[in-house]
Amino acid sequence: MSKKNTDISKFLSYVLRHHPEAIGLSLDQNGWAVITDLILCAKKEGYIFEKSIILAIVTSSDKKRFTISTDGLHIRAAQGHSMQQVKITYKENIPPDILYHGTAARFISEIRKKGLLPMSRQYVHLSTNEVTAIQVGQRHGKPMILIIKALNMYEQGFKFFQAENGVWLTEAIPYQFIQE
Ligand code: HQG
């Protein structure tokens, strides 16, 4: 992806996951923004792009971060929201035996005490592969991979969800299900 489109993608993540109000944009409770509104609100803040650029970013996003509605008029972030007013109904699924969570080594002593918490987001984010977990972890410092006994958790009544882009979500993970 070009540098310009990567910058727009980061801007879209910021407004669609965390702060739509920063540009005067409204999301509905399922997290959808009207694409034409988004373009207008962004323009007022100096981010100038057309719908075709948004569609190109959605298609080329490595993690499929954004979803376009079936009518083609709306866009939302597939996961990662911090806003409590957005309540996406994620698909509940049976997880694989093991899932991975990438974190930073500096967080491990707190994680040992409290388990994994969603922190500023709505859910703890998990992946099916270690490479993704390392990439996620290194955003916060020296990466560390945690192995989550997901199926074991599920069998004990914890719920697991999957976003449209395949990312696994759960509300919190007690330390007993975590292997360092
Ligand atoms: C850590 C990216 C101390 C947690 C990725 C993480 C992901 C604790 C950090 C998505 C803790 C929160 C989410 C505890 C958890 N004490 N630290 N008890 N419990 N933590 O950014 O998982 O590329 O909110 O380990 O792909 O890093 O942006 O979550 O290190 O799917 O599309 O607190 O964001 O997607 O950090 O990342 P974040 P995350 P994008």
pLDDT category of residue 128 using cuts at 50, 70 and 90: very high
Last residue of a domain, one of 45, 77, 109: 77
51 lines ligand 1 (CB under 6 A): no
Spatial separation of the C-alpha atoms in residues 113 and 63, rounded to whole Å? 31
DSSP state of 95: P
Pair 67, 95 in one domain: no
Domain that holds residue 26: 3-77
Question: Would you say residue 151 lies in a domain?
Answer: yes
131 lines ligand 1 (CB under 6 A): no
Distance from Cα 53 to the centre of ligand 1, integer Å = 28
Query: What are the beta bridge partners of residue 103?
Result: 144
Pair 72, 109 in one domain: no
Distance from Cα 69 to the centre of ligand 1, integer Å = 27
pLDDT at 1: 84
Structure tokens at 125: 């984010």
Pair 69, 98 in one domain: no
**Residue 180: half-sphere exposure toward Cβ, Cα within 13 Å:** 12
Spatial separation of the C-alpha atoms in residues 15 and 42, rounded to whole Å? 9
Mean pLDDT estimate for the chain? 96
Pair 46, 107 in one domain: no
Question: Would you say residue 50 lies in a domain?
Answer: yes
Spatial separation of the C-alpha atoms in residues 108 and 119, rounded to whole Å? 14
Pair 71, 97 in one domain: no
Q: What is the CATH classification number for the domain harbouring 133?
A: 3.20.170.30
Q: How far is CA 69 from the centre of its chain?
A: 18
Pair 41, 121 in one domain: no
Q: Is the pLDDT of residue 102 over 90?
A: yes
Tens of pLDDT, residue by residue over 38-97, are 999 999 989 999 999 999 999 998 889 999 999 999 999 999 999 989 999 999 999 999
Distance from Cα 43 to the centre of ligand 1, integer Å = 30
Q: What is the pTM of this model?
A: 0.93
Spatial separation of the C-alpha atoms in residues 92 and 161, rounded to whole Å? 4
